[in-house]
């Protein structure tokens, strides 16, 4: 009897061994929505936020960069150095270090502190404070203006890493494009600022449109319709698996995010207000990152935006109940019909010669990359250019229909 029981047990074991792998695959496929990790790094102000980021990036650092938190150019041009070497950026007021920054600087115990900018940005008083907090060497990189400082950082980058730096050119008079460029360029080299009299001998990449950085035909250029769309185009080029969200209308919190982007393999996207910008929505829906880090407090990146992240990635952001009417008389976007009451509107938008976006009021060739991203509910077909313009649409600047 015992022998029969043992034989039956062994037979069942063989049978289960044969079917278990298939069962496991089915179980994994039915586990449900992917897990998405959303976290926020913030301090009581821009300076403490930079210290919190530095603590997240590394426990010890060969070099630490100290830059002004009151203006953006010097911190921006130090970002490629920060990312390439995993060197944290700590922000400071002109004449004093924040106590939290002091504590973090001591904890990092760097062999060298690089001060970004001249004494007009980071005073000699702060330099003396730094010297009292660390036994490391202090190097100041600052030119007569932001453009010269950028060039000096390029030279320092090349000296530090022993290789020629590829040059990325951004608008020197505004910060948004440079903020999001950090997620792409850390392996490419340095960041130079375009401005009056600034004509680098060699440029590998331009960030921003012709209005931001005019000229440079034939040079690879990454640009979108606005700062939010440009950041998305940079993220697509970088192909990172994670995302960092920063305030796109103010610079302080984002200045110190460069090393964090390197550590987490993340692209930096810009947001503003109480809703995710449409280009960012599209990017999150299509790329489905499983890790999103918000940099800055709720005054910088709102709680409303934070609540939209997971539903957006899962494709649920626009899934709402049918409208029962409202005081404004506006249609519920989720129930708005695809057909648009426009003059001469062609039947099937995808069979029309041109494809318009009823949200942006722009029209494109059907082959345009941006046409392929138009949500079905916003698609409008036109049989001619004149028809699109007559309906109040403007031509896309990328495909130029």
Does residue 94 lie in a domain region? yes
Terminal Cα-to-Cα distance of the chain (whole angstroms): 85
Range of the domain at 258: 38-313
Pair (263, 354) in one structural domain: no
Provide the token pair at 234. Answer: 């940079």
Does residue 22 lie in a domain region? no
Pair (383, 259) in one structural domain: no
pLDDT given for residue 33 in this prediction:
62
Pair (230, 166) in one structural domain: yes
Pair (240, 358) in one structural domain: no
**Cα distance between residue 296 and residue 247, in whole Å:** 8
Does residue 1 lie in a domain region? no
Which H or E run contains 389? helix 385-390
Pair (303, 165) in one structural domain: yes
Local mean pLDDT, 10-residue blocks, the chain (401 residues): 46 39 30 79 94 94 95 91 92 96 96 96 97 95 93 94 91 86 71 79 90 90 93 91 92 86 91 94 95 94 95 80 32 33 49 81 82 81 81 80 80
Angle at 281 between CA 353 and CA 345, to 5 degrees: 25
The set of residues, in sequence order, having a beta carbon less than 8 Å from that of 329 and lying 6+ positions away, is: none
Does residue 258 lie in a domain region? yes
Pair (231, 298) in one structural domain: yes
The tally of domains found in the chain comes to: 2
pLDDT given for residue 339 in this prediction:
36
Residue that terminates a domain, selected from 265, 289, 313? 313
Pair (249, 361) in one structural domain: no
Does residue 107 lie in a domain region? yes
Pair (69, 206) in one structural domain: yes
């Amino acid at each position: 009897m015992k022998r029969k029981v043992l034989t039956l047990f062994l037979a069942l074991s063989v049978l289960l061994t044969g079917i278990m792998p298939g069962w496991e695959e089915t179980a994994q496929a039915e586990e449900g929505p992917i897990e998405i990790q959303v976290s926020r790094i913030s301090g009581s102000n821009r300076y403490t936020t930079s210290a919190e980021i530095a603590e997240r990036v590394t426990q010890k650092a060969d070099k630490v960069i100290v830059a002004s938190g009151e203006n953006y150019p010097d911190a921006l041009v130090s970002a490629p150095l920060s990312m390439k070497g995993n060197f944290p950026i700590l922000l400071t007021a002109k004449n004093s270090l924040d106590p939290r920054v002091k504590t973090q600087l001591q904890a990092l115990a760097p062999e060298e502190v690089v001060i970004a900018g001249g004494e007009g940005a980071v005073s000699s008083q702060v330099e003396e404070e730094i010297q009292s907090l660390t036994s490391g060497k202090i190097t100041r990189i600052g030119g007569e203006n932001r453009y010269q400082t950028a060039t000096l950082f390029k030279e320092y980058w090349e000296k530090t890493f022993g290789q020629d730096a590829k040059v990325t050119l951004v608008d020197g008079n505004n910060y948004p494009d440079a903020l999001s460029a950090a997620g792409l360029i850390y392996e490419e080299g340095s960041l130079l600022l375009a401005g009056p009299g600034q004509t680098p001998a060699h440029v590998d990449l331009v960030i921003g449109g012709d209005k931001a950085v005019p000229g440079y035909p034939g040079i690879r250029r990454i640009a979108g319709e606005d700062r939010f769309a440009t950041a998305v185009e940079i993220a697509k080029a970088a192909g990172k698996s994670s995302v960092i969200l920063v305030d796109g209308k103010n610079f302080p919190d984002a200045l110190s995010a460069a090393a964090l982007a390197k550590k987490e393999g993340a692209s930096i996207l810009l947001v503003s207000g109480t809703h995710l910008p449409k280009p960012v929505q599209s990017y999150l829906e299509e790329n489905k990152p499983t890790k999103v880090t918000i940099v800055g407090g709720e005054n910088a990146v709102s709680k409303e935006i934070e609540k939209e992240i997971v539903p957006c990635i899962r494709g649920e952001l626009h899934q709402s109940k049918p409208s029962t009417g409202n005081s404004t008389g506006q249609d519920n976007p989720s129930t708005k019909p695809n057909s648009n009451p426009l003059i001469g509107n062609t039947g099937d938008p995808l069979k029309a010669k041109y494809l318009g976006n009823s949200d942006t009021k722009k029209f494109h060739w059907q082959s345009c990359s941006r046409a392929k991203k138009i949500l079905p509910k916003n698609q409008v077909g036109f049989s001619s250019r004149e028809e699109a313009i007559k309906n109040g649409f403007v031509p896309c600047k990328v495909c130029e229909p």
